[in-house]
Amino acid sequence: GNSVTQMEGPVTLSEEAFLTINCTYTATGYPSLFWYVQYPGEGLQLLLKATKADDKGSNKGFEATYRKETTSFHLEKGSVQVSDSAVYFCALKGGKLIFGQGTELSVKP
């Protein structure tokens, strides 16, 4: 069945550092891919999405490119801020919507 695997956290970075959170997936067909974010005390919310190969999703300085050849959808940001501290979930929708295990990001000033 479909599955999503994320790099384990927690990830701790200094402000303005470069961020990469790896996400790989296994799926039949052509799923849509998502990154959701959960800020402290809040619910999950959509950060960005991509619906087909080579699409790039972007929002709030975050980007992720749908790579079918490597079955990956890594999340990147060039310069993180303290306010980016949250848990990030990679997700796939090809039938059911399923999530990776989440990666906690902590950004220190």
Partner 1 sequence: GAGVSQSPRYKVAKRGRDVALRCDSISGHVTLYWYRQTLGQGSEVLTYSQSDAQRDKSGRPSGRFSAERPERSVSTLKIQRTEQGDSAVYLCASIPSLRQGNTEAFFGQGTRLTVV
53: contact with partner 1 by CB under 8 A: no
Q: Can you tell me the distance from the alpha carbon of 108 to that of 26, in angstroms, rounded to the nearest whole number?
A: 33
Among 21, 25, 49, 66, binds partner 1 (CB under 8 A): 49
20: contact with partner 1 by CB under 8 A: no
Give the chain as a DSSP string: --EEEE--S-EEEETT--EEE-EEEE-SS--EEEEEEE-TTS--EEEEEE-STT-EEEETTEEEE-BTTTTB--EEESS--GGG-EEEEEEEESSSEEE---EEEEEE-
Residue 48 Cβ vs partner 1, minimum distance, rounded to whole Å: 11
Judged by CB, which is closer to partner 1: 17, or 98?
98
Judged by CB, which is closer to partner 1: 43, or 109?
43
64: contact with partner 1 by CB under 8 A: no
Residues that bind partner 1 (CB under 8 A): 6, 8, 32, 34, 36, 42-46, 49, 51, 89, 93-102
